[in-house]
Structure 1
Amino acid sequence: MHSLSKKARVAGFFYLLVILIAPLRLVYIPSKLFVDGNAAATINNIAAHEMLFRLGIVGDLLTASASLVLTFMLYRLFKEVNKSWALLMLMMGFMDTPLYFFNSLTDMGTLILAQGPDFLAAFDQAQRTGLATLLLKMHNLMTFASEIFWGLWLFPLAALVYRCGFLPRFLAVWLTINGVAYLALSGAGLLRPEYNELVANLAFPCQLGEVAFALWILVLGAKQRQPAALRGAAVA
């Protein structure tokens, strides 16, 4: 396999891994366990479905690890295109990992409070529920904060895709739109949470840019195109 395509496909594999695992804690577990406006029911659901919540913690840790490898593999793929942009992409993408680890920590605290072990006997049920809810809300706000970096790292990545010559430029455009969508989601979540649902619905098709990019480099790899002058000479 051509070395360029090999690098692209390895990066695509880890990108798809992140895309498949991340929604477990971001989407699936909240839809199954969290009850809007009822903190007690939410904590009871976490205690009753402890293994599912634990899987969410493991999923976030795996996402953090895969994301770290992904950013490095993309740096290897694009460093010859423009090293400065590739380093910027690497630094922005790296921020994903510590933020996921922080959110795993808040979930660990939530799980301990939901279990109600003996060493927490000094706290009554209402107090434990309140503390667990505080940690869940911190997790939610940190997710919105993380979307800043989920969006920003896509801009240097899009510039690299546009300039590289071995990937189609429409992917660069879609990645740029995807980055703007993440920033809009972060802004709504942190500043105007009443618009979260509206912004999320508008942003969803834009967020498919990452899916398209990951599938393209995984399935089709990368192929260096000849300059126009060389193509013309070959035809002649």
Structure 2
Amino acid sequence: MNTKNKNARIAGLVYLLLILIAPFRLIYIPGKLFVDGDAAATIHNIAAHDMLFRLGLVGDLVTAVVSLLLTYTLYRLFKDTDRHLALLMLMLGFMDTPLYFFNALNDMATLVLAHGADFLSGFDTAQRDGLAMLFQRMHGLMTNASEIFWGLWLFPLALLAHRSGFVPRFVAIWLTVNGVAYLALSFTGLLLPQYNDTVANIAFPFQLGEIAFMLWILIKGAQPRLVAVHGARAA
């Protein structure tokens, strides 16, 4: 296996790890513990399933670290394709990590409020529940803000994939549309939250572009596309 093939499969493996870990706090924890419109029930669930919520918090931190590793491995893979584009992808992708760590503070504050530490005795239960839900609302809004970078970094990645000679054009296009979908989700969540669910349902199939890209480089590696090979032979 040549170096580029090896780098492609390492990047694909790291991408797979990110895709498996990231939804735990983003999707599973809210679905399991959060009750829409009922702060008391939500905070009760968090306190009653303390370890599960903490695992979600740790999952976000692990996601931040894996995301950083992913951008680096993809930079190594594509730096010979276009160094400037690869650096742009690296910078935009890097922003994911500090945002994840910053957002973890909201979950930490929620845990403290859910357990009602002694220094919170000046707040009654309803007030603590309200404050905890405020931090969870901030967590959600911070996720919406983070989706800007989740989308932006895919544009240089899509261009690099297209120019690389080993990723099919349709996968590069799918990555671009995936980036647009994240931007749509971000601005909907920040500006028109009442349409969140509608936009999320529309955006879902477009968000599979990252999975298609991950599977391609994980399975196929960096083997030149057949069209590119024929073109080179003809030349």
TM range (shorter): over 0.9
Partner of 2:218: 218
Superposed, 1:139-178 pairs within 5 Å as: 139-178=139-178
Partner of 1:232: 234
| Residues 166-212 of structure 1, C-alpha deviations (whole Å, 9 max, x = no match) | 22111100000100000010011000001000000000000000011
Separation in structure 2 between the aligned mates of residue 13 and residue 63 of structure 1, nearest angstrom: 14
Superposed, 1:48-127 pairs within 5 Å as: 48-127=48-127
Separation in structure 2 between the aligned mates of residue 193 and residue 128 of structure 1, nearest angstrom: 25
Partner of 2:184: 184
- Matched residue SS, 2:205: coil
Q: Structure 2: which amino acid aligns with 1:174? A: W
Partner of 1:28: 28
Residues 1:33 and 1:216: Cα distance change in structure 2 (over 3 Å): same
Give the superposition deviation at 1:130: 1.4
| Residues 29-76 of structure 1, C-alpha deviations (whole Å, 9 max, x = no match) | 101110111111100110000011001001001100000000000001
Give the superposition deviation at 1:227: 5.3
Structure 1 consecutive aligned stretches of length 4 or more whose deviation exceeds 6 Å: none
Separation in structure 1 between the aligned mates of residue 199 and residue 146 of structure 2, nearest angstrom: 16
> Which stretch has the larger CA shift, 193-202 or 161-170?
161-170
Separation in structure 2 between the aligned mates of residue 60 and residue 230 of structure 1, nearest angstrom: 45
Separation in structure 2 between the aligned mates of residue 175 and residue 208 of structure 1, nearest angstrom: 8
| Residues 76-111 of structure 1, C-alpha deviations (whole Å, 9 max, x = no match) | 100111111100000000000011111111101101
What TM-score, normalized by structure 2, do the two folds share?
0.96
Separation in structure 2 between the aligned mates of residue 187 and residue 119 of structure 1, nearest angstrom: 38
Separation in structure 2 between the aligned mates of residue 182 and residue 57 of structure 1, nearest angstrom: 22
Give the superposition deviation at 1:228: 4.4
Q: Structure 2: which amino acid aligns with 1:38? A: D
Separation in structure 2 between the aligned mates of residue 103 and residue 17 of structure 1, nearest angstrom: 20
Separation in structure 1 between the aligned mates of residue 198 and residue 232 of structure 2, nearest angstrom: 50
Separation in structure 2 between the aligned mates of residue 112 and residue 83 of structure 1, nearest angstrom: 45
Give the superposition deviation at 1:133: 0.8
Q: Structure 1: which amino acid aligns with 2:222? A: A
Separation in structure 2 between the aligned mates of residue 214 and residue 115 of structure 1, nearest angstrom: 40
Give the superposition deviation at 1:229: 5.3
Superposed, 1:118-137 pairs within 5 Å as: 118-137=118-137
| Residues 136-190 of structure 1, C-alpha deviations (whole Å, 9 max, x = no match) | 0000000000000000000000000011112211110000010000001001100
Partner of 2:3: 3
Partner of 2:194: 194
> Which stretch has the larger CA shift, 213-222 or 68-77?
213-222
Q: Structure 2: which amino acid aligns with 1:223? A: Q
Instruction: Report sequence identity in percent.
Output: 69
Residues 1:18 and 1:229: Cα distance change in structure 2 (over 3 Å): closer
Give the superposition deviation at 1:230: 3.8
Partner of 2:15: 15
